Amino acid sequence: MGKFRKKPVEVYAYRWTANSYDETTKIIEWILSNGGTARFIDYDPSMGKYIAIDTLEGIMRAMPGDWIIRGVKDEFYPCKPDIFEATYEEV
């Protein structure tokens, strides 16, 4: 057991506000054009709208306001805004 620090890495990220269909379409196209798999669910009775993203850990939901990250292995995953702000800074 020991103490570790996260290595500095650069990632691409896009914050999904769900304010427009065009914005959602651009994010889905960004994911698909970079080898990822995602689909927009515009209404689910229990969840509202979200983007379902196939991640290394299975399907995850990006909710409005979440960041969608393209990681170091070209994988995609959602990240809550508070975690994103604590972990990343703009370069």
Spatial strand order in the sheet of 76-79: 12-15, 67-70, 76-79
Residue 62: beta bridge partners? 51
Q: Residues 14-56: pLDDT tens digits?
A: 999 999 999 999 999 999 999 999 999 988 888 899 999 999 9
Q: Rounded distance, CA 23 to CA 13, Å?
A: 14
* Pairwise pLDDT comparison (78 vs 8), residue with the higher score: 78
Look at residue 46 in the predicted model and tell me its pLDDT. Answer: 87
Q: What is the pTM of this model?
A: 0.90
Residue with tokens 């972990």: 87
What is the C-alpha to C-alpha distance for residues 51 and 57, in angstroms, rounded to an integer?
Answer: 16
- Beta carbons of 65 and 15 less than 8 angstroms apart: yes
